[in-house]
Amino acid sequence: MVDDTLPLLLRGYGWLPDRRRRSGGAPVETRLLGKRVIALHGPAAVRFFYDEHHIRRTDALPQPVIDTLFGRGAVHTLDSERHGVRKALFTGLLKEPARVRDLSERVARELERARAVWAARGRVVLFDEVAEVLTRAVHTWAGVPLAEDAVAPTARDMIAMVDGFASVGPCHLRARRARRHQEERLAPLVEAARQGAALEGDGSGPTVFRTVAAHRHADGALLDPRTAAVEVLNVLRPTVAITWFAVFAAHALHRHPEHREVLAGGDGPEYAWAFAQEVRRFYPFAPFVGGLAAERLEWAGRTIEPGTMVLLDLYGLDHDPDLWPEPYRFDPTRFLGSAPPVDGLVPQGGGPVDGHRCPGEDITVAVLAEVARFLARTSYDVVEQDLRIPLNRIPTAPRSGFVIGEVAAAP
């Protein structure tokens, strides 16, 4: 059997859809990094994959991904009761509507502040600016101290961890360095918070930071400070990573300016929710997820031996014409008035939220909707630049980072 590691590195988002086409829609069986792999596709495969009796995560992820994107001991790498106890920490903090609203309102306020600064500067790279806006907002929301002069370098670290996880060379080394910096920044803060009087909060309810610092394993022991830092980062980093979707939202508005008026108008909030869902569906971010077969499995007439790497196609499912008519047409109205199919819209994974599904979807949609409304209410020029989004790089973004100029200081 051939090894597909090089084709994956060279083709990026195109790799799995191509292999699936070549296999006539059947599960793709190949090798990655020398190990047997089977890749599954479709809503039924989503349910199959997210059944925790089928797939385990412990020892499933390549170490370079853990050492950049997720961190050692992260919730992503746990199974069974250890996963359940840790996951409850995240869902308790990230799915509560009042907290989600609080964060998206902070983002909206930071964007308003930023508009005047951008106006004074002439031209700005939207990617870099939004990363800073989100870094500021998520730190104050989560109760993690951050001095003003640390905002830009911290934003760069958060972005680097995501940008370099799937690459080799300098970008990957930058990601490793960024993770080390950030864990070394946060672990002492966890220890300090534990020694301080009140871990339970400051009157406005316990913050994300204090709640993670006080979290205990199933056996009652506190997380060691480094693991607590890893989990604080598992809130901060992906929130800043919404930058990728924010820039895609700007790209969509540039290509389809007809959405600006309705986003900025009276039906804005409802339309912005649908627009955010379509940005998540349409643009490439997470290509697939993976785990190891926990036992001998049968799928689509195939036997999957225990320990085989099983991949679940995410990007391909979000563009499957059986679920999404004209999948390469950007059309927010497909989400108006109806909840998205739970195991059909999977840009952040699928299955039930107490499994490994991303607990940050509500936050992502709420923040992205605020960004979309802000962009629609703001007057700016999109200067001449390279807006191509290369599909052979994971993660990807418009090459130029989306440069805007002539930003109006007020809506």
Q: Is the CB of 4 or the CB of 318 nearer to ligand HEM?
A: 318
Question: Which residues of this protein are in contact with ligand HEM, per CB under 6 A?
Answer: 75-76, 87, 90, 94, 234-235, 238-239, 241-242, 245, 285-286, 289, 347-349, 356-360, 363-364
> Cβ 389 to ligand HEM, closest distance in Å?
15
> Cβ 130 to ligand HEM, closest distance in Å?
12
Cα separations in angstroms, 279 against 128, 244, 251, 318, 391: 19, 10, 10, 11, 16
Q: Is the CB of 235 or the CB of 253 nearer to ligand HEM?
A: 235
Number of Cβ within 10 Å of residue 222's Cβ equals: 14
Q: Is the CB of 227 or the CB of 364 nearer to ligand HEM?
A: 364
Residue of this chain nearest to ligand HEM (CB atom) = 360
- Burial code (b: 16+ CB inside 10 Å, e: under 16) for 65-84 equals bbbbbbbebbbbbbbeebbe
Q: Is the CB of 316 or the CB of 347 nearer to ligand HEM?
A: 347
Q: Minimal CA–CA distance to 13: which of 339, 351, 314, 367?
A: 314
Cα separations in angstroms, 211 against 78, 106, 133, 206, 278: 19, 20, 24, 6, 33
Q: Is the CB of 11 or the CB of 95 nearer to ligand HEM?
A: 95
State the Cα–Cα distance between residues 181 and 154, nearest whole angstrom. 9
Q: Is the CB of 82 or the CB of 177 nearer to ligand HEM?
A: 82
> Cβ 387 to ligand HEM, closest distance in Å?
20
At 160, which amino acid appears?
A
> What contacts 376, CB < 8 A, 6 or more positions away?
253, 259, 260, 261, 263, 264, 268
Q: Is the CB of 345 or the CB of 407 nearer to ligand HEM?
A: 345
> Cβ 410 to ligand HEM, closest distance in Å?
29
Q: Is the CB of 173 or the CB of 286 nearer to ligand HEM?
A: 286
> Cβ 38 to ligand HEM, closest distance in Å?
16
User: Cβ(410)–Cβ(28) under 8 Å?
Assistant: no
Q: What is the CA 295 to chain-centroid distance, rounded? A: 29
Q: Is the CB of 360 or the CB of 380 nearer to ligand HEM?
A: 360
At 320, which amino acid appears?
D
> Cβ 269 to ligand HEM, closest distance in Å?
19
> Cβ 349 to ligand HEM, closest distance in Å?
3
Q: Is the CB of 165 or the CB of 380 nearer to ligand HEM?
A: 165
Helical spans, DSSP H, in 335-396: 361-377
> Cβ 381 to ligand HEM, closest distance in Å?
27
3-state secondary structure string, 202-243?
CCCCCCHHHHHHCCECCCCCECCHHHHHHHHHHHHHHHHCHH
> Cβ 235 to ligand HEM, closest distance in Å?
5
- DSSP bridge pairs for 293: 55
Q: Is the CB of 154 or the CB of 364 nearer to ligand HEM?
A: 364
> Cβ 292 to ligand HEM, closest distance in Å?
12
Q: Which residue has the tokens 């490994």?
A: 356
Q: Strand (E) positions, 225-347?
A: 288-293, 297-299, 302-304, 309-313
| Main-chain dihedrals φ then ψ at residue 97, nearest 5 degrees | -55, -40
State the Cα–Cα distance between residues 166 and 394, nearest whole angstrom. 6
> Cβ 345 to ligand HEM, closest distance in Å?
12
